Chains A and B, each alone.
Chain A
Amino acid sequence: MKISTKGRYGLRAMIDLATHENCDYVTLASIAERQQISLNYLEHSFSALKKAGLIIGHTGINGGYKLALPPTEITLQMILVVLEGDLAIVPIIPAAEETIYSQCLRTNVWEKINQKLADILKKTTLQDMLGCNNKND
């Protein structure tokens, strides 16, 4: 029951991008260096985030990445769904395979947890994660 390194690294990289963009494109190499994440790994995550429309890539001399939306409009849910896939605490069990016991547990525990987690991740934006990041500069 853990958040994968893809989710952990990717979220940090997105916070770094939001902190450093200032209208310019930020290179992946600079994010990788500041966050001490392998460039190769970042390329993979950023390609998925770009595909999902959260960031824009630009090639060329001043190329790099920037956010596709203001940080106030990018929720952690949007980012983590791309990096982690489904954020539910248990896999979806087909109705035909459910017993009254698994159903009882799902409705009274798993769904409550999923709901609370979704609430946190949907209400927290990238903007909320900025501000205390200066030490990483």
Chain B
Amino acid sequence: MKISSKGRYAIESLIYLATLPNAPTQVKDIAKKTDIPQKYLEQIFFALRQANILAAKRGPSGGYYFQKSPQELTVGDIIRILEGEIIAVDCLQDKSACITMQLYESCITRALWQDISSTISDIMDSTTIAALAFQLQGGMGL
């Protein structure tokens, strides 16, 4: 049960971006600072732009900047955009994903998977990109 590198890289690069003034920043520079492959980061940023998290400016002084404030942007938002719902097993959101439908009503493990999913999403939803950037810059603990 792992978060993919896509989700991790997105958040890492957004933390870096949140430490800068909100002006267009080139993917090349972000990739270098965060040690993330540039091509991969371009794909990730394209998806974040589609989701209106970032905006892009074209031209020689172009780049990406925040469309949504990092103070209002949580780790959970980013993971949902790039990896889908934060659930430990598919049957939590889609009953038809139940592997043994006849036992669905009496399934005793579903409550556990629900508990695990909420634990993960609670932490992700209460952590903003701004708070992580603040922490990085020597701010107080979250």
Chain A residues within 8 Å of B, Cβ to Cβ:
1-5, 8-9, 11-12, 15, 35-37, 76, 84, 87-91, 97, 99-102, 104-105, 108-110, 112-113, 116-117, 120, 124, 129, 132-133, 135-136
Looking at chain B's contact residues, the main secondary structure is helix
Minimum CB–CB distance for B49 against chain A, Å: 20
Q: Is there contact, CB below 8 Å, between B132 and A108?
A: yes
* CB <8 Å contact, A8 and B102: no
Residues of B within 8 A of A4 (CB): 1
Interface pair B86/A120, CB less than 8 Å apart:
no
Tell me whether B135 is interfacial, beta carbon within 8 Å: yes
Q: Are A120 and B120 in contact (CB under 8 A)?
A: no
Question: What is the distance, in angstroms, from A101's C-beta to the closest C-beta of chain B?
Answer: 4
The answer to whether B2 touches A91, judged by C-beta atoms less than 8 angstroms apart, is yes
Please report the C-alpha to C-alpha distance between residue A121 and residue B9 in the assembled complex, in whole angstroms: 28
Question: Could you count the A-B residue pairs with CB atoms below 8 Å apart for me: how many are there?
Answer: 116
Instruction: Verify A116–B123 contact, CB threshold 8 A.
Output: yes
A89 touches B105 (CB 8 A): no
Binding site for A on B (CB under 8 A): 1-4, 8, 11-13, 15-16, 33-35, 75, 79, 83, 86-90, 99-100, 102-103, 105-109, 112-113, 115-116, 119-120, 123-124, 127, 131-132, 135-136, 142
CB-CB nearest in chain B for A11: B109
**What 8 pairs between A and B have smallest CB-CB spacing?**
A135-B106, A101-B12, A36-B100, A104-B136, A3-B88, A116-B119, A99-B35, A101-B15
Q: Which of A8, A104, A116 contacts B15 (CB 8 A)?
A: A104
- The CB with the most chain B CB atoms within 10 A, among A87, A91, A109, A112, is that of A109
Contact B124 A109 (CB under 8 A): yes
Q: Assuming A15-B109, A89-B3, A129-B112, is B127 touching A109 (CB within 8 A)?
A: yes
Across the interface, do A113 and B120 meet the contact criterion of CB distance under 8 Å? yes
Give the chain A neighbours of B11 by CB distance below 8 A: 105, 109
Q: Known A-B contacts: A99-B33, A109-B124. Give 8 more (CB < 8 A).
A: A1-B87, A3-B116, A11-B112, A87-B1, A108-B142, A113-B124, A116-B119, A136-B108
